[in-house]
Structure 1
Amino acid sequence: MPWCERKCPYCDFNSHETEDVPEDHYIRTLLQDLREDSPMIQGRAIETLFIGGGTPSLFSAEAIQKLMRGIAQLIPLAPTLEATMEANPGSADADKFYAFKDAGINRLSIGIQSFDNAQLQTLGRIHTSDQAYAAIDFARQAGFDSFNLDLMHGLPAQTLLSAKTDLFAAIACKPSHLSWYQLTIEPNTVFHKRPPLLPVEDELADIQQCGEQLLADNGYSQYEVSAYSQEGFNCRHNSNYWSFGDYLGIGAGAHGKISFPDGRIKRYNKRRQPQEYMSVTSQAFVASTRTLHRDEIAGEFMMNALRLNDGFTLPQFASRTGLDYAQLEPQLELLCQRELLVRDRNAVRATDTGRRFLDSIIAEFFPD
């Protein structure tokens, strides 16, 4: 759902400013898009659903209810479906959250980014710290036992103390899940054109180390590079694509990845511009598609799986890629010798050192 009230200066997602979301037209288009992609499900039940953006919570409760009803009519949903929706505090209210819950959403991801009002202003956010706390209260009142808070660190002029204060404020709200990640300057953003003064590398390392310890001390286990959860609250949707699982991508700018029985693995993306996406004729939602070459599948798998703290198992590699895991032996032996990976029988994961050099590790699994 690609619209926002205001584009943040650090954001490189497919989001577009608007004051008037074309709800009915867009929901109809989403459902037609899903209808056309549904054969790629190949008889499987959908285990997770993630409504992201942009700002999905800009949409009315009625629009989300219509979307969820349409999805249920078109595709098989597992009884244990994890249905996540992103929400921003600036577009949150109690009645909306109750309605989202009634529509079948059972997990929220709330974009806090910081509890510091000065930082929120620097980051171009439209909400205040008070609104962030209110959105968390609304989520609880509506019965969301499972919700994530998005929080960034390494913010402009941020110190170790202020980063810890921000993180502790999030922990004090007792979310079941925290996405705590470093601000990075991406191309084609306002911050890239006019870079803010960010903490230096040593300061960032101190923030990361102290933050990880603070999270662990308060019952949050890290299971991915930037994902921390209380026991039993890992995000199943994210875990699926970190482990090279399949997923459909529906909507303007959405990406998908599908495996086929004949061994093909296809990645595709939809048209990015919302107006173009909503105006195309049938079978024209896809902007580009690419079938992975056999030589790049191992690298694509590693690019995802090594983000997970537990890594992957060799049988899992074989089942998700269709490749013989014996072909990994030369790289695994070399990287284990360099203490970048560790192998315990059939399980492989990055070491603490390796996690700091993931790009270099992953490059070993791509052809020269």
Structure 2
Amino acid sequence: MAAAEPVAVCPPLSLYIHVPWCVRKCPYCDFNSHAIRGDIPEQAYLNALLEDFDQDLHLVRERPIETVFIGGGTPSLMSGDFYRQLFTRLRERVNFSPGAEITLEANPGTVEAGRFDSFRQAGINRLSIGVQSFNPDHLKTLGRIHDSQAAHDAITAARNAGFENFNIDLMHGLPGQTPEQALSDLRAALEHGPSHLSWYQLTIEPNTEFFSRPPALPDDDRLWEIYQRGGQFLRAEGFEDYEVSAWSRPDAQSRHNLNYWTFGDYLAMGAGAHGKVSLADSRILRYWKTRQPEAFLRRIGSRTAGSEAIEAEDRGLEFMMNALRLKTGTSENLYSERTGLPLSSIAVKLESLRAQNLMSPTRLQATEQGQRYLNNLLEQFL
């Protein structure tokens, strides 16, 4: 493997902020989320976030923040004033690019109309609304705290507050779900005119309630029918699947996720958050924050729990695992810019995959056949 060369172009910089609390842990969720016990310590968490961020300012390297994603947990449990204070203090420390995309995850059942107004006033300009399903039985199975009407009401309230750029999260392949029920969820979502849909298949993950007591999921034939019919419907409605489970209207892709998938940099902020940054000495570092909320609050100074370098021999796989999720892939030039490695380091593998019609001859992009065998394709870069 060729030695890493200096990264010629500094990657764009995003910021991920994690809010770890939720009302109730969903049985399928393997994220760092913790059910609320008492009141959320908003001011203490704000102070801890900023104190920790100050320890990471050297990682910014004078770059502006291009995108922010606030995930959880349930970030919409926090008040608008919390986010107003947070972004006021962040802007005192770093620059934000004009038109920076700032996304907040919001769950129906945790917000009222006035709170959406306060989120907008705090500078949040995009929402990701975690509906998962509009079907009452499926919502109950998934352990969601909202019903179908609450989901519709939350989306309507968000639109009335001025949010035109918003994503709706939906799951498919749910226990007992039929293709028609999956299509019904999609139709209900599109009634609200979203710019983006995250439509992803339910998977059973370790350390979840579903892993301990797995529900009966649709078989492969039904999953394929759901995916095919749902995809046909969304394309007919003007949506494009620009990534494995992400659908958007033209020019409404998630800029934050695009930065992940093109091996950009992102700072980590909050309990259990993960970051990835390119350093001035050409190293690429992955790091993560203290996971437990109580421990995060108690720490003084840096809350970084660990870090590891992404070595030169691993960067090709890391880059391709992300880039090949995108339907259009990336340009060949981006490989060197983001990994610090010459394209020649993967030239032999590329030639072989292109000869098998698994990758495009001119881009780092999986062909239609390559998308079908994506896992096997990626194994070639190990």
The 5 A counterparts of 1:279-298 are 279-283=298-302, 285-298=303-316
The equivalent residue for 1:308 is 326
1:340 to 358, 366, 376: 358
Which of 27, 33, 40 is the aligned partner of 1:15? 33
Counterpart for residue 147 of structure 2: 128
- Which residue of 355, 359, 367 maps to 1:351? 367
Check the 8 A contact 2:323/2:364 in 1, yes or no: no
How far apart, CA to CA, are the structure 2 residues paired with 1:330 and 1:209? 34
How many corresponding residue pairs?
363
5 Å matches for 1:175-194?
Answer: 175-194=194-213
Instruction: Give the one of 208, 217, 230 matched to 1:211.
Output: 230
Alignment of 1:219-234 (within 5 A): 219-234=238-253
* 19-28 or 143-152, larger mean C-alpha shift: 19-28
Q: CA deviation at 1:299?
A: 0.4
Give the alignment's TM-score, normalised by structure 2: 0.93
Correspondence for 2:138: 119
CA distance in 2, matches of 1:320, 1:200: 40
Establish whether residue 277 from structure 1 lines up as the match of residue 277 from structure 2.
Answer: no
Match of 1:149 in 2: 168
SS in 2 for 1:341: coil
Q: State how far apart, in whole Å, the 1-side matches of 2:307 and 2:373 are.
A: 30
One-letter code aligned to 2:145: I
What amino acid is the match of 1:364? Q
Q: Deviations over 1:281-301 (max 9, x none)?
A: 213x11110001110010010
Distance 1:355 1:274 in 2: 39
1:52 shift after superposition = 0.6
| TM-score, normalised with respect to structure 1 | 0.97
Deviation at 1:339, TM superposition (A): 2.4
Cα drift, residue 343 of structure 1? 2.1
Q: Which residue of 1 aligns with 2:274?
A: 255
Determine if contact 2:264/2:338 at 8 Å carries over to the other structure. Answer: yes
**Is the 2:167–2:197 Cα contact (8 Å) retained in structure 1?**
yes
> Equivalents in 2 of 1:180, 1:103: separation in Å?
28
2:218 corresponds to 1:199: yes
Counterpart pick for 1:40 among 42, 55, 59: 59
Deviations 1:49-92 (A, max 9, x none): 11110000001122121112111112111111100000000111
1:74 partnered with 2:93:
yes
1:160 and 2:176 equivalent?
no
Measure, in 1, the Cα distance between the counterparts of 2:127 and 2:361. Answer: 36
1:333-367, Cα deviation, whole Å (9 max, x unpaired)? 222222222222xx12112232233222222112x
Q: Identify the residue that residue 323 of structure 1 maps to in structure 2.
A: 341
2: CA distance, partners of 1:41 / 1:126 = 38
Q: Is the 8 A contact 1:171 1:215 kept in 2?
A: no
The SS at the match of 1:51 is: strand
